[in-house]
Amino acid sequence: MKKTIFEGAAVAIITPFTEDGVNYGELGRIIEDQISAGTDAIVITGTTGESSTMSDEEHKEAIRYTVEKVAGRVPVIAGTGSNETAYAIQLSQYAEKVGADGLLLVTPYYNKCSQKGLVAHYTAIADAVNIPIVLYNVPSRTGVFIQISALLELAKHPNIVAIKEASGDLSHVAKLRAALGDALDIYSGNDDQIVPILSLGGKGVISVLSNVAPRDTHNICQLYFDGKVKEAADLQISYIDLISALFCEVNPIPVKVAMRMLGYEAGPLRLPLCEMEPAHEELLRNAMKAHNLIK
């Protein structure tokens, strides 16, 4: 059996920006607060981290800084996916070199490659590194769905150990689990499906909610692991209003605004992402107040 990178809740951490670059001091503050609150792993430069608008230098430095700041206290998983295989390899090798514990590789976007192309893409990256890889199935963003037939092939690779499943299709997750068994760990990519995916053998969640409620997101998983299934489900259900508010506009717009509400210097969103509509911001503010996160 392959080694599990983490169990529980990994935060898909935001990247705080200044007008000129990455605010590393504030990123360090957020990392420390996350670890103190029980976050089980940190995912840097993922979708929530606005990696698609970061320069190559920023992308690499954010990974290096996070690995150094975390200093082995929890696993660090670096988002190094790209729709250009050669660039994904370059980023992945860099992340390995600076000490990342694993990689998160989104499906190639825009190209809309075939399943054969997906297998070739991921195999080429996995052959180029020696750290574990989490595949990322998020067809709503990329236009590509990793089919079970491709996963059966990819799961044979020793470095491909898990999948972040964000299709929203629980039936697919059940079929995936039935087909692959323990060959790939499964992580929920949706905060409203943590307990259902845990019930299908999932290992945890890569979470947006963890940015603003790290302790309780961890607790949803831990309660489930401790056999307190009803308590885990009740806790997740209690957060549905905030989860909905965090996705009332495209991620990471709402969570970046929510982090500002919490007093973090999250900084601006980078175009083409823009500020929230006032009505949505009010919805988010009210949900944050309902959970006593702000006054």
Write the pLDDT tens digit of every residue in 80-91: 999 999 999 999
Domain containing residue 212: CATH number: 3.20.20.70
**Structural Rg of the chain based on CA atoms:** 18
Catalytic residue among 136, 187, 224, 264: 136
| C-alpha torsion sign, points 146, 199, 253, 39 | negative
Number of domains in the chain: 1
Residue 40 falls inside a structural domain = yes
Catalytic residue among 60, 69, 164, 203: 164
Residue 249 falls inside a structural domain = no
Q: State the pLDDT at residue 41.
A: 98
Residue 294 falls inside a structural domain = no
Active site residue 60: no
CA–CA distance from 276 to each of 13, 261, 272, 282 (Å)? 19, 13, 12, 10
Residue 208 falls inside a structural domain = yes
Instruction: Over range 92-117, report the average pLDDT.
Output: 96
In sequence order, the 6+-apart residues with CB closer than 8 A to the CB of 105 are: 79, 80, 81, 88, 92, 122, 125, 133, 134, 135, 136
Assess whether the previous peptide bond of 252 is cis (omega < 30° from 0): yes
Residue 242 falls inside a structural domain = no
Confidence class of residue 125 from pLDDT cuts 50, 70 and 90?
A: very high
Which residue range forms the structural domain that includes residue 87? 8-229
pTM of the full structure: 0.95
Residue 172 falls inside a structural domain = yes
Residue 238 falls inside a structural domain = no
Residue 270 falls inside a structural domain = no
Q: State the pLDDT at residue 1.
A: 65
Active site residue 164: yes
